[in-house]
Amino acid sequence: MKRYESTPVKFDKSGVRVYSTTYYPDIKLSDSDIFIYPQEGQRLDTLAYKYYGDVSLWWIIAKANGVKGKVALSSDNPIRIPSNTAGILQEFDNLNNRE
């Protein structure tokens, strides 16, 4: 699933295409979540590929861990890998398909 696939597109007064605000769901802790210590410099997209088979789902890991504005992770802090991706993606679609 592409990150902006469910985000509505609008056109401004001059006809330029712009994206509406993208809303991300809160990701609740689950007993089936995986906790890891990433290798120094490991990236969210590589973790998303390893655990989900899809690099575009990096935002799920970022949202679950409060990661903002970082490309590379530190090995000092554990990272939670949410397991319920289907439920998270459904909630994401519900939030962003409001008109």
What are the pLDDT digits (tens) for 50-72? 999 999 999 999 999 999 887 78
pLDDT, mean of residues 39-47: 93
Instruction: Tell me if 4 is assigned to some domain.
Output: no
Instruction: Tell me if 40 is assigned to some domain.
Output: yes
Residue ranges making up the domain that contains 20: 9-96
Instruction: Tell me if 80 is assigned to some domain.
Output: yes
pTM of the model: 0.81
In DSSP terms, 34 is beta-bridged to 81
Instruction: Tell me if 2 is assigned to some domain.
Output: no
59 with 16: CB under 8 angstroms?
A: no
CA–CA distance, 56 with 11 (Å, rounded to integer): 25
Q: How confident is the model at residue 99 (pLDDT cuts 50, 70, 90)?
A: low
Instruction: Tell me if 62 is assigned to some domain.
Output: yes
Instruction: Tell me if 82 is assigned to some domain.
Output: yes
Instruction: Tell me if 3 is assigned to some domain.
Output: no
> Into how many domains does the chain fold?
1
Residue 72 has, within 13 A of its CA and on its CB side, a CA count of 6
Model pLDDT, residue 28: 94
Instruction: Tell me if 74 is assigned to some domain.
Output: yes
- Look over the chain and give the mean of its residue pLDDT values, rounded to a whole number: 88
